[in-house]
A and B are shown apart, each in its own frame.
Chain A
Amino acid sequence: MIEIKNITKRYGETAVVDDVSLTIAPRTVTVVVGTSGSGKTTLLRMINRLVEPTSGTIRLDGEDNRSLPGYELRRRIGYAIQGHGLFPHRTVAQNIATVPTLLGWERARIDAKVDELLQLFQLDPADFGPRFPHELSGGQQQRVGVARALAAEPKVLLMDEPFGALDPIIRAKAQDDLLAIQKHFETTVILVTHDMEEAFQLADRIAVMDKGKVVQYATPAEMLIKPATPFVESLIGVSERPYRLLAIEPVLSAVEPGSADGTAISSTLSQREALAELLWSGRSALPVADPAGAIIGKVSLEGLAKRAAGPV
């Protein structure tokens, strides 16, 4: 649990983070979005005290984050940034081992952890461990950056536009991998982005920042149905709303009884993907299959259209 209470950061006269309070549940993904310069990075960096707040408190599992020296706090909190920041003079394995080494883990434990993480990120330890960062592709560098942030098994992972430098296809994969790994380690993730699509893709809860203030802190669905301010509404994009609403929910919750012709759709896909499939196949309904392959009903254009409609 992370409790951010009335946190403010001033540079001179301007408050770049202005009286922000957020409570973040453990084992969830919170995404902070907002335009450039709205104070997202500053807010994130106050959690691991790369920036000291002007006023307010931040508690991690009830403990004030100022109760231990900054460097010790940071060894307990994962931190991944845009452009990965890998140490160019150290191998991939040495990069990942950074925090465990600082913590004085035994050699064998470090090696095992490095191997585990490389495998988890689909990088062969024997091949990639001894390489230097410049011998990796952009996507691989980014994965190593996240692996390094997770090496000491932190409960909290802070990410500042971690996928900003990736092309769209690798980016989508990196986002999926992040969610899988977040579930695997049960990490609490706080991720900063200016990309609303990414926010909806990843978030359990979204915090929208504007000029240093959090203007709305809500689940994606709540935010779509009831945007707190015109700014939030414009950030979501009026023409995107019905699709984002469908993207949040799986096909499973839109299944209707009955049967339909055509190729079955998996119940685990999002309703947006089902809509795309319906439109593309030119049918008004398609059968739905559960993960085992059994047909459990149908999904229809009409049904999805109702679900995509906003509140009247």
Chain B
Amino acid sequence: MPKLSTLFRLGVFLVLLAFLLQPQWFEPLLRPLVQANAPVIYNQGSLLQLTLLHLRTVAIAVSAAAMVALALAILVTRESGAEFLPLSRSLVNIGQTFPPVAVLALAVPIFGFGEKPTLIALFLYGLLPIFENALTGLTTLPPSVMEAARGAGMTGGQRLLKVELPLAMPVILAGIRLSVVISLATATIGSTVAAKTLGEVIIAGLQSNNLAFVVQGGLIVATLAVLLHDGLQAAERKLAARMGR
């Protein structure tokens, strides 16, 4: 029998799906938020399409950030790369001290309007949590396990693939999860530089003083964040439980 929490998540997902496919069903709920005659459901594009584009932007940015951050973390935790540890830490930290709006503002003159500056901002923002967590995961492995891996005659590459990464995976996944949630929220700002994301809905609402638009845009983003957060966390728990943690 599935747990109550699982059923609840499934319910939330179905409601979200229904809202994206048949938004007019929810019109009566949102009606009180707008003045008479104003549109209740976003009418300048498909909510479903915007949601998919929003998710695509996040997926591309986080995948790229995960690959780069993980590669960096692996590099600086090797014996030969240890001297780069402080440098890479500060590089990634700089990415984080820039507010996303500033990154967008700087990126637009270089890359023009659209998805590119948004992707770059999200990418930079996604790096730090993944890098930090990967670093934590790879540097806090049980010493006796690492000793046994060397003692058994594993090469450096074999230790990385067969022991270090699998053992660090729950912590690395936690970093990716943080990065996904941050990116989901930050991507809405991308609409200010004409990226196609759910931010459009919120901005349209703000411009035409339409509270229903703001609420529906915000709720979709929030629900996506909660569902993805939960799903990834469940995966982490499952991995960690297998190792008896």
Binding site for B on A (CB under 8 A): 48, 50, 71-76, 79, 81-89, 98-99, 102, 132-135, 145, 148
Which residues on the A side are within 8 Å of B153 (C-beta)? 71-76, 99, 102
B 62-98 binary contact with A (CB < 8 Å = 1; else 0) = 0000000000000000000000000000000000000
B234 within 8 A of A: no
B152 within 8 A of A: yes
**A81 CA / B147 CA spacing, docked (Å):** 8
B220 within 8 A of A: no
- The A-contacting residues of B in range 123-172, CB under 8 angstroms, are 142, 144-145, 147-155, 158, 163, 166-167
B3 within 8 A of A: no
Q: Is the CB of A74 within 8 A of B244?
A: no
B243 within 8 A of A: yes
**A282 CA / B112 CA spacing, docked (Å):** 101
Given contacts A74-B152, A133-B244, A145-B148, 13 further A-B contacts (CB under 8 A): A50-B147, A71-B154, A72-B153, A73-B153, A79-B148, A85-B144, A85-B147, A85-B149, A87-B167, A88-B167, A89-B166, A98-B152, A99-B153
Which residues on the B side are within 8 Å of A73 (C-beta)? 153
Q: Is the CB of A86 within 8 A of B145?
A: yes
Q: Is the CB of A81 within 8 A of B148?
A: yes
Looking at A87, A145, A148, which has the most chain B CB atoms within 10 Å of its CB?
Answer: A87
Once A88-B244, A89-B166 are accepted as A-B contacts, the answer to whether A48 and B151 lie under 8 Å apart by CB is yes
The 3 closest A-B pairs by CB, nearest first: A134-B244, A85-B148, A75-B153
Q: Is the CB of B152 within 8 A of A88?
A: no
Q: Is the CB of A89 within 8 A of B155?
A: no
Q: Is the CB of B242 within 8 A of A89?
A: yes
Of all chain B residues, the one with the shortest Cβ separation from A79 is B151
**A76 CA / B151 CA spacing, docked (Å):** 10
Identify which of A72, A102, A148 contacts B158 (C-beta below 8 A): A102
The A-B contact count (CB < 8 A) is 69
Q: Is the CB of B145 within 8 A of A85?
A: yes
Q: Is the CB of B145 within 8 A of A87?
A: yes
Looking at A81, A84, A148, which has the most chain B CB atoms within 10 Å of its CB?
Answer: A81
Which residues on the B side are within 8 Å of A84 (C-beta)? 144, 148
Of all chain B residues, the one with the shortest Cβ separation from A88 is B243
Least CB distance from B240 to A in Å reads 10
Once A85-B144, A132-B242 are accepted as A-B contacts, the answer to whether A74 and B150 lie under 8 Å apart by CB is yes
Q: Is the CB of A134 within 8 A of B243?
A: yes
**A74 CA / B155 CA spacing, docked (Å):** 10
**A88 CA / B155 CA spacing, docked (Å):** 19
Of all chain B residues, the one with the shortest Cβ separation from A95 is B148
Which residues on the B side are within 8 Å of A75 (C-beta)? 152-153
Least CB distance from B167 to A in Å reads 6
Which residues on the A side are within 8 Å of B149 (C-beta)? 85, 87
Of all chain A residues, the one with the shortest Cβ separation from B146 is A85
Which residues on the A side are within 8 Å of B145 (C-beta)? 85-88
Which residues on the A side are within 8 Å of B166 (C-beta)? 89
Of all chain A residues, the one with the shortest Cβ separation from B155 is A71
Q: Is the CB of B144 within 8 A of A81?
A: yes
Q: Is the CB of B151 within 8 A of A132?
A: no
Which residues on the A side are within 8 Å of B243 (C-beta)? 88-89, 132, 134
Q: Is the CB of A74 within 8 A of B151?
A: yes
B 214-245 binary contact with A (CB < 8 Å = 1; else 0) = 00000000000000000000000000001111
Q: Is the CB of B148 within 8 A of A87?
A: yes
Q: Is the CB of A87 within 8 A of B163?
A: yes
**A72 CA / B142 CA spacing, docked (Å):** 23
Of all chain A residues, the one with the shortest Cβ separation from B243 is A88
Least CB distance from B111 to A in Å reads 42
Q: Is the CB of B150 within 8 A of A135?
A: no
